[in-house]
Every structure is written in C-alpha cells, then in structure tokens.
Amino acid sequence: MSDDEPLSLLRTSNSPESGSAEPNPNKRDGGMVVLITLGYLALGSILLVNLVDRPGGIQIFAMVAYTFLIPYIASNRFLNLVPWDRLIRGNVLLGHCLGLVIVYGITTEALAVKPRLPAWFITSGRRPSLFLVCLGGILLALAFCEYHWVMKSKDE
C-alpha cells in the first residue's frame, strides 16, 4: 500500500489484500451468527410468553436468560467459538450457581418492591419501563462480572 492510497478501515488482517487468504478457524461466518442469535431470541420469546403470568415465572426467565448470557458474552456475540473448556469447570459452575441464586434474589425483591414504586418508574408504553431497564442493567452487569471472573479464574 503506497502513501497516496486511501486507508481502508474495513480491511482486516485475514483479508486477501493483507496476504493471509485463510479464514480464522475460531471465527464464525455472519450467516451462522444471525441464525444462532435468532434461535436464542426465539427460544427466549417463547419462554417469556409461557412464563410471564405464572408465579415465579419472571424469576425463572431471568435465570435462564442469565445462563444463556454467559456463553453469549464469552463468544463475543457468537462471532467466536464458545470457550466451553473454561466455562464447564467445578469452581466456575459453583460460581454460576451462586450467580443464579443472586439473580433469583434480585428479581424476587425487585418484583416485591415494584407495587410501592412511583408510577412513572414502572409504567411502560411502547418502550420497556425504566424499572425493567434498570433490572436488566443490573443482571447484565452481574453477567459481565461473572464472565470476567471465569476468564481470570485458575482452575486445575
């Protein structure tokens, strides 16, 4: 590339122009990423519709969504293969069970406090309510904390 050519921001290290024509074996193609993501969203939607009106249904949905969120984060939004060798170990699974207990506790307490919150915080129009956004943000932050703990943990 000469100095007078424009710099291409879309060029990657595995592109044929950079000299390496072979694809990265740890990366997925875009079509597979879309199919996996749509599958996750479809299963989550079916689960939510079936559990939303049942007692404890929201807590169960939150725990299942939290469990599916860990491989999603670990695989960089399904672009990379999931590092199952790091995710399925004794201490990691024990830590995940502790995370599920925390998720159940947070959602149970949040739903118990919800009737005493102001109407502007819990009402939803076309968008999710601020209550649901805050609850989702807390669970997302907890999932990222667990992911970083998993990736840094040294298990034999």
Percent of the chain with pLDDT over 90: 37
| Average pLDDT value for residue range 61-74 | 89
Q: 32: which 2 tokens?
A: 């597979």
Longest dimension (CA), the chain: 66
To 5 degrees, how large is the angle CA 41–CA 42–CA 44? 65
pLDDT digits 0-9 by tens, 103-135? 999 999 999 999 999 998 888 777 888 998 999
Q: Which of 106, 82, 91 is nearest to 28 (CA)?
A: 82
Torsion angle, alpha carbons of 76, 128, 39, 101, to 10? 70
> What confidence score (pLDDT) does residue 145 get?
92
Placement of tokens 């907890």 in the chain: 142
Any idea where the domains of the chain sit in the sequence? 30-152
> What confidence score (pLDDT) does residue 150 get?
83
Task: Round to whole Å and give the CA distance between 59 and 65.
Answer: 10
Q: Which of 66, 68, 53 is nearest to 105 (CA)?
A: 66
Q: 134: which 2 tokens?
A: 């805050």
pLDDT digits 0-9 by tens, 5-58? 554 444 454 445 555 556 667 777 777 888 888 988 999 999 989 998 899 899
Task: Round to whole Å and give the CA distance between 37 and 43.
Answer: 10
Output b/e per residue, 107-142; b: 16+ Cβ within 10 A: beebeeeeeeeeeeeeeeeeeebebeeebeeebeeb
| Average pLDDT value for residue range 70-82 | 79
> What confidence score (pLDDT) does residue 125 get?
78
Q: Over the chain, what is the mean pLDDT?
A: 81
| Average pLDDT value for residue range 68-78 | 82
> What confidence score (pLDDT) does residue 32 get?
82
> What confidence score (pLDDT) does residue 113 get?
94
Q: 58: which 2 tokens?
A: 């929201």
| Average pLDDT value for residue range 77-96 | 80
| Average pLDDT value for residue range 80-105 | 86
